[in-house]
Amino acid sequence: MQAIYNSSITDGLTRLYNRKYFYNRVTQHVQRHLPISVLFSDIDNFKKLNDTQGHQKGDEVLKQVAQILKDEVEEYGIAGRYGGEEMVVMVTDPGIKMDAFAERVRKRIESETIVTASIGYSKYKKGLSAEELIKQADEAMYKAKTTGKNKVVKYE
């Protein structure tokens, strides 16, 4: 039963939590008005990697990036695969400086893999829904992607 449950809440390739589980956990924290932050990452030029080096190489890179996110957040929250090459992190420790945390993740991806990542993050503010919080982090990531890639942007 445990194995079936685990496979229902995790992504088969990366072993990160799946989008639905991640969203539900963010929702639980938001409903309790707990101080959380959401980090949204997207691997830069991932389609090109798949097209030039093959999907097997792409899968390998996804697993590497997932492991970095998992390692970095294990004491402070959870990591999930949002879809494709997009991965998300929920940080539940209000003492974590998100700019430094996100930059550390970005640097590790750049130095330990053959790819870079654009990262955005947002902090929960009273009145925000889980959906809005995730959307803000996504918008910040999009800004990172459209203003040069391989950088961290905070939602403002």
101-102-104-109 Cα dihedral, nearest 10 degrees: 150
DSSP 99-153: HHHHHHHHHHHHHHSS--EEEEEEE--TT--HHHHHHHHHHHHHHHHHTTSS-EE
- Which residues share a beta bridge with 123? 37
85 an active-site residue?
yes
Percent pLDDT > 90 in the chain is: 97
Full residue range of the structural domain in which residue 43 is found: 2-154
What local confidence, expressed as pLDDT, does residue 89 receive?
98
Residue of 60, 72, 75, 85 marked active site: 85
Number of domains in the chain: 1
pLDDT digits (tens, 9 = 90+) for 119-135: 999 999 999 999 999 99
Task: Report d(CA 154, CA 156) in Å as an integer.
Answer: 6
CATH code for position 124: 3.30.70.270
Is pLDDT of 38 > 90? yes
What local confidence, expressed as pLDDT, does residue 96 receive?
96
Q: What is the mean pLDDT of residues 51-61?
A: 96
pLDDT band at residue 18 using 50, 70 and 90 as cut-offs: very high
What local confidence, expressed as pLDDT, does residue 3 receive?
87
Nearest CA to 152 out of 105, 111, 95, 115 is that of 105
- For Cα atoms 130, 134, 139, give the angle at the middle one, nearest 5 degrees: 145
Task: Report d(CA 109, CA 62) in Å as an integer.
Answer: 11
Which comes out higher in pLDDT, residue 110 or 2?
Answer: 110
Tokens of 37: 């932050």
What local confidence, expressed as pLDDT, does residue 102 receive?
98
Task: Report d(CA 51, CA 155) in Å as an integer.
Answer: 32
pLDDT digits (tens, 9 = 90+) for 57-109: 999 999 999 999 999 999 999 999 999 999 999 999 999 999 999 999 999 99
Distances (CA, A) of 103 to 1, 47, 97, 120, 123: 39, 23, 10, 10, 16
What local confidence, expressed as pLDDT, does residue 68 receive?
98
What local confidence, expressed as pLDDT, does residue 2 receive?
87
